[in-house]
Structures are given as C-alpha cells and as structure tokens.
Amino acid sequence: MYAYVYKNILYPFYETVLRRRRTFHYLNQFEKDQWLSEEELKEIQWKKLKPLLEHAYQHVPYYREQFENCGFHPEQMQDLSDISKIPILTKKNIQDNQQSLLADNYKDKPLLENWTGGSTGEPTRFKFDHRTYEMRMAYSARCDRWSGWDYGIKEFYIWGVRDTGDAPTVTAKKTLHNLLLRRKVVNCYTFSRDTFPRYVKEFNRFKPDMIISYTSPLYNLARYIHENKLDIYTPKSIIATAEQLYPFQRELIEEVFQAPVFNRYGSREVMNIAMECDKHEGLHLNIDNLLVEIIKDNQPVEPGELGEIVITDLNNYVMPFIRCKLGDLAVPSIKKCSCRRGLPLLQEVAGRTFDTLTLRDGRCITGLLFTFYMQKFTGVSQFQVIQKDLDTFIVNIVKNSRYKDSDTEDIGAELRQQLGANAKIDLHFVDNIPMQKSGKQRIVISEVPLDFGNE
Ligand SMILES: [Zn+2]
C-alpha cells in the first residue's frame, strides 16, 4: 500500500510540484524510447550529438582549441563515426582545465557539482545543471526498473559511506530521507566478522524487496551467510554494481539470497551507463543519452573484443564530456536481446578489480574504498595497493606535478587511520601501474586469504 501511494502520489508530488523537476516527464519519454529500434535510437543520438558539438565549439574554450588543433568542424560532420577525429578527454585533462571546460553561457546559471575518486584514483570535479541531473535520474530509473525496482519499494543498500563529520541536523535529515524512501543503508566500511551477525539480523528484520550493493561486500556477506548456514530473508531481486561481477560471485549470491542478480555499470560522471534486463543476455547501453564507444587504438573494436570505454554525455551542456575515457574496459556484444529493446548490449564490463582486505581487527573492507581514501591527494595520478600480510601494505604511486613532499607522510597517516595504527605502509613511486595480461586493472590486491570461519 505504501509503495503504491509513494510511487503514484508522494514521489511524483515531491519531484514535480515541490522540487519542480521534470524527472517523470523524461522517464516517461525514455521508457517509450527503449522500445525503438537500434537505428532509431542512433538517430536520437545523432540529433543530440551535433548541437552538443556545435555548442562546445562556440562556448567551451577547451573544445574550441582542441577542435581547431585537430581540424575538426562540427558543421562538417557526416555521421557518428566522425567523432573519432576528436581527441580523447582524460581525467587529467578535466583536472587541468576546470575553467576552460565550462561553457561561457552557463557560468551564471545555478549549477550542481560532483566529484569522483575514479577507479584509477584520479580525483575529478565536474559540473552540470538541473536538467542534466533530472535526465540522469530518469534513465537510471528506467534501467533499475528492469530489475523490478520501483519508487517506494524497500531497498537495502550496502554502500561505502564516508564519515563526513555531518552536524546532527544533517544526519537527522539523512535518516528521515532514508525512512521516507524506505531505504536502509549499511556501511561496507564497517564489515567484519564481528559486525556481520548484526547486519544479517537487521536484514531479516527489515525484509527488503531489493538489495543494491557494491559487488564484493555483497559477495562477502553471502559467503558469511553460506559458510555459517544462516537463515536469510529472500528479497525480490539484487543489483550489484561499482565493481566487476564475476560468474562465481553471481552464482553464490543468487544461491544464498534465492533472488536474481542484475549487473549494473555506471560512473559518478554520468550515473547509469549500462545494465542487465531480466533476460540477462548482456548489459543494455543507454545510447539515447550517452554515446558509448568501445575502442582500441582509437578505432571501434569488433563485437566480442575487449576495448576501452569512452563516453560522450549527450545532455550536459555546462561542462561537456566529449570522448571521456573512464578507465574501464568492455566487450561489445553482437547479440540482440530477446527482450526486444533496441538498446544495444555489452557482453561484459571488465577492468576494475578491487580485492577485499582482511585487517587485524577483523574488518574485511572492499579495496574500492581506497578510491575514497586517496581522493584528496591531487598529486597522485594513479595508485595500487598490495596487501602482503595482515599489517603490511605496499602502495605504488604514480605522482604528478602537484605532488608535495608532505604528501608522503600524509598518505601514510591517512592509510594508518583507515587500516589500523600498526599498519606498515611502504610507499613506492612508479612510472605506471601495469595492466594484467587479461587487460584488467587490479587496483587493490590482497595476498591474505579471506576467512569467515564458523561461528
Ligand atoms: Zn534485454
């Protein structure tokens, strides 16, 4: 009953009337568009791409210079493939050109800001407007609905929550917000053999319709439940995100929770990029809002081949991301999904792997959290953490010109605060972080086996 009232009355009233957002308007449109053919969706892409590039040329100093340097003129574009003439935008380019990437005709408008630690540890700030935000919320909601999610259902979130030292009023507001959204958030920062029993109890008491979780903490929780033969409430479905989902992880999570797992791939920069529908034949790409290229040597790879993911956000005119390299890898699929949606499929997303670290105090934390820890060190372009034993960590760092001498001590202090006062942090400066033979990037590696033991 609450779900019905929330979905049909409360939330639309809040979004549309109170906040004056057009999220529902966009969602209705995108829900219809997903059933268009791939060719028709590409037509939508084209209609959005050309004005975006013209705008970038006229109003964004960074792109004007780039386009002029490489002899690219938006008005001369013949088709989508011409975009390959534009140079790739790296996270470093974004860091170094914060002002010149802003459109001169948007500077005085109300803007939103977000930032990301990124999978390679390069912190990046970016701006967008309310319209772009509403569209992102809408196409993300469209994808989540494929899993059975909807406004008003009970969500159990397993997420990395940073202690931001909020004032009590802010904490109270967040708690009320979660209560109204019927959302329970548990912090995978605090996962350990000691806290798992409490989370299992909370889960069973809360009886969620859905789990939305980082992949490896969810897998660890599933392992704990499985190895200790605990009873667990069955949700309707599960969204696993933020890390690569391996088949063995999916298998165990589905077995333990008796619910289907939906793989979701997204990024802070543009939110939901691709997600599985209930056919699980690959991840549908949101091509009506994003131009997603999978490339190798600046050329699109063949279906079945691994390439780098490069994104153009077709909606954001404030700080356009044109051919932005996210640092992840994917394999495009040749298959058409049997659900008949025209959104094309990725066969697999690869590239980001973060082992779970077992710490001396019993915590087992996902290595993904290091992207938060390292975020404030702008002199670090890339990093890799290798755990040798319970107390010893090797941190490989690729530094840039903003690296300060004091950073070495500060990084050590930050990591000791997170990993334990006795942690031995061994910092090494390297020229690059090598990829694995598979093309995958292992950001956090642990040589300490995970052991959940029996209660
Ligand atoms: Zn499908």
Q: Which residue has the higher pLDDT, 295 or 370?
A: 295
* 260 Cα: distance to centroid of ligand 1 (angstroms): 15
Within 10 angstroms of residue 366's Cβ, the number of other Cβ atoms is: 25
Residue-wise pLDDT for 99-116, tens only, equals 999 999 998 888 888 877
Residue with tokens 């034993």: 389
pLDDT of residue 440: 57
Distance CA 238, CA 216 (A): 13
Check pLDDT > 50 for residue 118: no
* 344 Cα: distance to centroid of ligand 1 (angstroms): 9
Residue-wise pLDDT for 421-436, tens only, equals 889 999 999 987 776 6
CATH architecture for residues 148-259: 3-Layer(aba) Sandwich (3.40)
Distance CA 442, CA 354 (A): 6
Tell me whether domains 2-134+282-350 and 353-446 share a fold.
no
Check pLDDT > 60 for residue 272: yes
Residue-wise pLDDT for 14-65, tens only, equals 778 777 789 999 999 999 999 999 999 999 999 999 999 999 999 999 999 9
Overall fold of domain 2-134+282-350: Rossmann fold (3.40.50)
Distance CA 145, CA 163 (A): 30
Split at pLDDT 50, 70, 90, the class of 180 is confident
Please give the model's pTM, rounded to 2 decimal places: 0.84
- The segment with the largest mean pLDDT, out of 181-190, 250-259, 395-404, is 250-259
* 338 Cα: distance to centroid of ligand 1 (angstroms): 6
* 337 Cα: distance to centroid of ligand 1 (angstroms): 5
Averaged confidence pLDDT in the chain: 88
- Sorted by where each begins, the domain ranges of the chain are 2-134+282-350, 148-259, 353-446
* 345 Cα: distance to centroid of ligand 1 (angstroms): 8
* 336 Cα: distance to centroid of ligand 1 (angstroms): 8
Residue-wise pLDDT for 206-238, tens only, equals 999 999 999 888 988 998 999 899 999 999 999
pLDDT above 90 coverage of the chain, percent: 56
* 7 Cα: distance to centroid of ligand 1 (angstroms): 24
* 416 Cα: distance to centroid of ligand 1 (angstroms): 45
Overall fold of domain 353-446: GMP Synthetase; Chain A, domain 3 (3.30.300)
If you average pLDDT over residues 400-404, what whole number do you get?
87
What are the structure tokens assigned to 452, written together? 């959940």
* 307 Cα: distance to centroid of ligand 1 (angstroms): 22
Q: What residues flank ion ligand 1 with Cβ within 5 A?
A: 277, 279, 337, 339
Check pLDDT > 80 for residue 439: no
* 237 Cα: distance to centroid of ligand 1 (angstroms): 16
Check pLDDT > 80 for residue 126: yes
pLDDT of residue 455: 41
Check pLDDT > 50 for residue 119: no
| Pairing, β 210-214 against β 155-159 | parallel
